[in-house]
Structure 1
Amino acid sequence: MEQKQHYKVIQPTSGWQLIDFKELWRYKDLLYFLTLRGIKARYAQSVLGVAWAIIQPLFTTLVFTVVFGNLAKVDSDGIPYTLFSYLALWPWNYFSGTLTESANSLIQNANMITKVYFPRMVLPLSSILSKLLDFLIAFVVVIGMMIYYQVTPGWGLLFLPLLIVQLLMCSLGVGMTLSAMAVKYRDVKHALTFVVQLLLYAAPVVYSTTAVPAEYQKFYILNPMVGVIEGFRAAFLGRPMPWEWIWPGSIVAIILFVFGMMYFRRMERIFADVA
């Protein structure tokens, strides 16, 4: 008896569409493997291993403390400058790191894209998830600083998951957009390092948001990282949550996330041709 064969026809997407989350879930094992591979590759043949996730932001914080805290006398709202800057560098390093990792994810895995089908979203998503380990490890330094400076966090810690969601949405949105652009425009890879350095000073990492002139703050708070950073500081320093800085950035983060998904989906059909 002749058996019927079933075929699935894979057609390129067209127009602006959202990501097929059901399909993405079917490839969860691939996502797990690529995330694990990214973590292992980052610390392969490294003497200090995951300790770099602590050393790098800690030394950057010390440099900022000397230059901006001691020499430039930047106002830190009465908070020890080392703690002030580290609580900002913690989420910022994750954001900036995910931009670089995700922007290069498609180019670095061009062989996979041209040889086998899978949801291309898996590549930038695995890069972003693999950086979460660094984010969690860096939390150890936060605990140490809180104990050293005898600072007690407040009820704002309950809102920390919301801030992390905003951080992830912003990272995913911008990361998906850059990864899709980097395949077609290789200039993105070269310009990204410079752009990330500029963006550092567009967020309240080395200074407080209150230092920004009032007439510019209505535009400044549209930066999603402003609300995230000030929210992190408020949560761990026992201060009232600055919702007036958080909610505008949340709206922008959602817009970036949706646009990133749709733009990635639109560009996905040409990845194999230009990768």
Structure 2
Amino acid sequence: MAYIPRPALAVDALAIWRARSLLWVLVRREVAARHAGTAAGVIWPYLQPLLTVAAYYLVFDVVFSMRLGDGAPARAVGTFLIVGALPWMAFCDAVSRGMNSLLEAGGLLQKNSLPPVLFVTRAVLASALIYGPLLLLIALAYAPLHHFGASMLALPVLLLLLVVLAWLLAYLFAILAAALRDVVQLVGFLLSVGIYLSPILFPLSMFPQGWQWMLWLNPITMVVVGLQAVLLQGAWPPLTVWGVSAVWLAGLTLVLNGVVARSRDQLVDWL
């Protein structure tokens, strides 16, 4: 019987499972390193994004009382911005730190036969441990507006989708950055402008109808649109969210699987 090799990502998934105890230790150390030396201690990683969203609410809703037009999922600008800005910050943090994780661990990987995927996963899970509770806190603040409707059941799926997307992209960019350092600057630029090509600063309905497809090229769009439907309107995410999500996940998985398979023998040498 012919031998059928396992997909590269399946091998990495098995490596993560076998090293789950070590991974948990690495994640805890990563979270601890983010607040080491700060006066606020463990509160600091959570305080930064909370102060940002609080500033949105204070400036746009309290001070200027700005309102969105008809067709927007919410009238108050600050209330609208918070729902998209917080997952965007979580996404950027996970992708950016995950992308740099292999470069930072290069010396360790050259001396030890640890699976490189552990370091990308550590960075993404550390970001999830910081931003996950904040996203749930925001959800609890918005849920009473819709009497904790059944649409809240979609929230865990959307948050899991956010983590999986961030992991796939972070791992892909981490490998590409190991081969070509310019990738770090390029991805950093894309993350800095990506917020303007997503329905975070403005509702999807305000973007010209013929150009809305451009926003769906940003992977965060489907998560933001889904969260806006659940938290701002108390409705189930539209079918478009799930359809585009399936396409993104399938496409990224196929591309990443190929990149991992082709780079496995050279990755540590690139670092």
Please give the alpha-carbon distance, in whole angstroms, between the structure 1 residues aligned to 2:16 and 2:137. 35
CA contact 2:56–2:82 (8 Å) conserved in 1:
no
* Higher helix content, 1 or 2: 2
TM-score scaled to structure 2, two decimals? 0.83
Change in Cα spacing, 1:261 to 1:36, as seen in structure 2 (3 Å) is farther
Which of residues 102, 111, 116 is equivalent to 2:112?
116
- Counterpart in 2 of 1:241? 237
Equivalent residue number for residue 183 of structure 1: 178
* Post-superposition CA distance 1:229-255 (Å, at most 9, x none): 111122223134222234213321332
Please say if residues 222 and 248 of structure 1, whose CA atoms lie closer than 8 Å, have aligned partners that are also in contact: no
Residue 95 of structure 2 corresponds to: 99
Percent of aligned pairs with the same amino acid: 22
The aligned counterpart of 1:38 is 30
Contact 2:68–2:75, Cα closer than 8 Å, also in 1:
no
Separation in 2 of the partners of 1:196 and 1:172?
15
Aligned-residue CA RMSD in angstroms?
A: 2.9
- Selected match of 1:29 from 17, 21, 38: 21
Structure 1 position 126, deviation (Å): 1.0
Per-residue CA deviation, residues 123-163 of structure 1 (Å, 9 max, x unaligned), is: 1011111111112231364157438x955442111112221
Residue in 1 that maps onto 2:74: 78
Matched, 1:196 2:191: yes
Normalising by structure 1, report the TM-score.
0.82
Contact 1:166–1:228 under 8 Å retained in 2: yes
Q: 1:142 to 1:61 in 2, by over 3 A?
A: same
Aligned counterparts of 2:215 and 2:130: Cα–Cα separation in 1: 28
Tell whether 2:157 aligns with 1:162.
yes
Name whichever of 217-226 and 38-47 sits farther off: 217-226
Alpha carbons of structure 1 residues 152 and 233: separation in structure 2 relative to 1, 3 Å: farther
Using the TM superposition, name which of 259-268 and 199-208 deviates more. 259-268
* Separation of aligned partners in 2, 1:49 and 1:151: 35
Letter of the 1:18 partner, please give it: L
The one-letter amino acid of 1:43's match is H
For the residues of structure 2 that align with 1:254 and 1:48, how far apart are their CA atoms?
A: 41
Q: Which runs of 5+ in 1 are unaligned?
A: 1-13
Find the aligned partners of 1:62 and 1:108 in 2 and give their Cα distance: 33
Relative to structure 1, the CA distance from residue 125 to residue 265 in structure 2 (aligned partners, 3 Å threshold; closer, same or farther) is farther
Query: Highest CA radius of gyration, 1 or 2?
Result: 1
Higher RCO (Cα < 8 Å, 6 or more apart): 1
Q: For the residues of structure 2 that align with 1:274 and 1:176, how far apart are their CA atoms?
A: 15
1:23-44 CA deviation, whole Å, 9 max, x = no partner? 3322222212211111111111
Conserved in 1, the CA contact under 8 Å of 2:26 and 2:122? yes
Contact 1:154 1:236 in 2 (8 A): no
Residue pair 2:139, 2:231 contacting (<8 A) in 1 also: no
CA distance in 1, matches of 2:247, 2:41: 37
Match of 1:225 in 2: 220
* Aligned 8 A contact 2:229 2:237 in 1: yes
C-alpha separation between the residues in 1 aligned to 2:183 and 2:162? 22
**Pair 1:143–1:158, CA change in 2 (3 A):** closer
Q: 2:122 aligns with which of 118, 123, 126?
A: 126
Q: Within the alignment, does 1:274 sit opposite 2:270 as a pair?
A: yes
Select which of 34, 50, 55 maps to 2:47. 55
Structure 2: gaps (5+ residues): none
Q: Distance in 2 between matches of 1:53 and 1:210?
A: 34
Q: 1:177 to 1:68 in 2, by over 3 A?
A: farther
Cα distance in 1 for residues equivalent to 2:255 and 2:185: 23
1:142 and 2:157 matched: no
| Cα distance in structure 1, aligned partners of 2:137 and 2:245 | 27
| Matched length | 261
Kindly provide the amino acid, as one letter, of the partner of residue 22 in structure 1. Answer: L
